[in-house]
Amino acid sequence: MQTKVITGSRSVATAVMLAKPEVIAAYPVTPQTEIVEDIATFIEEKRLGSRFIKVDSEHSAMGACIGASSAGARTFTATSSQGLLYMDEVVHWAAHARLPIVMAVATRALAAPWSILNEHTDFMTQLTSGWIQIMAENNQDALDSMLQAYKIGEDPRVTLPVMVGLDGFILTHTSMPVEIPEQADIDSFLGERKPEFEIDVERPFTFGNVIDERYYIDMRHKMFESMQAAKEVIGSVSNEYKRLAGREYSMLECYNCDDAEHIIVSIGASSGDAREASDRLRKEGVKAGAVRIRVIRPFPSEEIAKALGGAETVTVVERSLSVGGGNILAHEIRSALYSAHGPEEAPFVKGFITGLGGKDITPNDYINMVGITRERPTGDEWFGLTGG
Amino acid sequence: MADKDESSNYIVPAADSKSKALLLRYPISLPDFGSGGKTNQWRLQMPVIDQDKCIKCIICWADCPEATIHRKSDDSVEINYDYCKGCGICANECPTKAIRMVDE
Amino acid sequence: MESPERGQLGTSGSASQADEHMIIKDIPKEEKWLPGNAACPGCGLSLGLRLMAKAIEHPVVVMPASCGSVVQGGWPKSSASFPLLNIAMAAAGSAASGVSEALEALGKKGTVVAWAGDGGTADIGLQALSGAAERGENIIFVMYDNEAYMNTGIQRSSSTPHGAWTTTTPEGKREFKKEVAHIMMAHNLEYMATASVAFPTDFIEKLRKAEAHKGTKFIQLFSPCPPGWRIDYSKSIEVGKLAVQAGVWILYEYENGKVSISPISRPYLDAKKRRPLKDYLSLQGRFANVDEREATEIEKSVVEKWRFLSRFM
């Protein structure tokens, strides 16, 4: 196993090279572009044998992946922000059609006005899509999650597409040491894709024709069940991956949580700063912990109820916003805790909307937000406004 | 009725039971007759062939949008009344007026 | 009136035509488009699909939202006895590209046919089609042209002809039909053709020719629609023939930069041999509001279309 100092984009492209999808279709969009460029280079250098369809748009990228995946191929695409929204229609289609397409999303703010900097709202717009959604914390996590994504999505108990998010620029354009697994290990880990149904002239199926009002709901229920089943599969795939790579991943990662009274919940690249904040708070005598949500679909409700159930307050910090609704993650966490522990026992959950459009979130910011939560534990708030 | 014993021209592969069990999950459908229901119920008029006038030109067969005209080995034709919707193209196009549309 | 194209159907006409071209008896008997589907009676699209499945031995069809989505029937049945992938309306060109690349990568059999309506081709589907054609994806793209959004209840498309009534052009469409075939000519395709469901052998021959060519092939298929065109169900074929005889619909092929008018349309190079335009218009309720002045405009557009094609002959 080799260690290289590479960007998040290169980590994703390297994972693609190891997973050997037969068909790739993608359209460039900042800050995802380097993924596409790296893949094109790998193919040019014959290090990757995929067919790369250089499509006319993101909608066509996903359209081509749907076609290729329906025909039995392993597929890959990558996008960001406006590109993800432009392909939105077919993103949902891919999940409904039960195609284990893997897509990397370099997260970025949405226009107008133009901003190419980091934010997670693009990723969060797909929570209802039926995709498994993993948000990486660092470049190693991006590479490892990409490889696990194929194994999870292609599992016959799941057969759903998987989206791996990584913070735009903060990960995509920042180099850090990444251990690259051996090709032979990945070959035996992933094996070949074996769909139960694929386009085959000897078995003429019709995919996705009209279904009436009696049965549509059952079809959706089966999607829901498969998404629930994915929780177990994510666990077993993680165990298997640990045996080959030595690194362990779970749906959420807890730090300093066992006796914690005040827990920070974060997602993505700034989670290291949340852990640092909890360390600093502990030095000041505050029993603080940090939880990073890695898998947001399927939502790890049980794990959240367990990890956060004993705390006094929970500070949810997210780089995303549902205008008119507020925090996205905090609502779901509150719901998980309320369902598991009831109104009397559940901890206070306070959401912070911050970090939009590339605004930094520092360890001090986390410490300040925990302070605000302890002072005013109810009601979500904004953090980081200039007052302009 | 189409003479199904006399080598039906329809190609319909038999579905395996495994496919049937998973149809709703994926969701997929299998080739079959009557995907739109019993379409003969749509019919207001039915085509009737006068075999004596028929010159076996098979124009009616070629022009039928439904594949409900059975072309036999000798190029004589028969209507599949199970699914014929009664559009009347066959009667309209028949060069010898061997097909009449008759009220149901 | 016995028209020259009857020769194509093998019932009359010159012997030489019958020798060079397929005759009706050559059409394969096998039916892979099954009866009892959900198409309206007399549906041009339904006939088109049936003929396509006869022309091509192993079709793999990609179908965007269109009447075709409904016509194939409801789960768990389908009228298609060939693989059929339904896809979002804008994605015929892209999904077909993906299928084609995957089949080749995996060494699997099948001729990929994207089967889209005029909306899924000329309007919402144009970008993905153009992309596929520019990349030279190995697909046959059939635009079944019924000249309006029929599936949503007869609204105008860019392919609706001048003067035609639709629910969004209650007084008749003011603009002229977009010539998608001309746009496709600009994509350096090896093979492009127009066809009509009213001429089955010609359509089948063109599909087979398309299959033998490399890259993206495009066929624009004239597909009469009885409810949308306000014609009797029995008149789909008749109106299709009239369109050709009046010179409104020109059957031709475009190969290696050259246009060749198909034998069925060849007589109508001579404008004097064309049926009067009013014969074509008056058969259809959708042209009921077309007055003399508008009929003259339509006539002019027909003349212009022939003139345009003659530049490439």
Give pLDDT, residue A388.
83
Residues 121-150 of chain C with CB under 8 A from chain A are 127-128, 130-131, 134-135, 137
* Interchain pair C30, B71: CB under 8 A: no
Flag whether residue A205 sits within 8 Å of chain C, measured between CB atoms: yes
Are C99 and A209 in contact (CB < 8 Å)?
Answer: no
Q: Can you give the pTM of this predicted structure?
A: 0.96
Domain with CATH 3.40.50.920 in chain A: 252-382
Kindly report the CATH class assigned to A252-382: alpha beta
**What is the count of structural domains for chain C?**
1
Q: What is the DSSP string of chain C?
A: ---GGGGTTTSSS-HHHHHHS--GGGS---B-B-SS-SPPTT-HHHHHHHHHHHH-SSEEEEEESSHHHHHT--TTEESBSS-EEEE-GGGHHHHHHHHHHHHHHHT---EEEEEEEHIIIIITTHHHHHHHHHHT-S-EEEEEE-SSBTTTTSB--TTSPTT--BTTBTT---SPPP-HHHHHHTTT-SEEEEEETT-HHHHHHHHHHHHHS-S-EEEEEE---HHHHT--GGGHHHHHHHHHHTTSS--EEEETTEEEE-TTTGGGGSGGGSPPHHHHHHT-GGGTT--HHHHHHHHHHHHHHHHHHHTT-
Q: Which ipTM value was assigned to this complex?
A: 0.97
Q: What CATH architecture is A2-245?
A: 3-Layer(aba) Sandwich (3.40)
pLDDT at C9 over 70: no
Domain boundaries, chain B: 38-103
The CATH number of the domain holding residue C151 is: 3.40.50.970
Query: Which of B23, B33, B63 best tests the C interface by mutation, with the highest count of C CBs <10 A?
Result: B63
CB pairs under 8 A between A and B: 42
* B38-103 maps to CATH 3.30.70.20: yes
Q: Among all residues of chain C, which has the CA nearest to that of B34? A: C36
- The CATH 3.40.50.970 domain(s) of chain A lie at 2-245
pLDDT of chain A, 388 residues: tens digit per residue: 899 999 999 999 999 999 999 999 999 999 999 999 999 999 999 999 999 999 999 999 999 999 999 999 999 999 999 999 999 999 999 999 999 999 999 999 999 999 999 999 999 999 999 999 999 999 999 999 999 999 999 999 999 999 999 999 999 999 999 999 999 999 999 999 999 999 999 999 999 999 999 999 999 999 999 999 999 999 999 999 999 999 999 999 999 999 999 999 999 999 999 999 999 999 999 999 999 999 999 999 999 999 999 999 999 999 999 999 989 999 999 999 999 999 899 999 999 999 999 999 999 999 999 999 999 999 999 999 999 8
Residue in B with minimal Cα distance to C204: B62
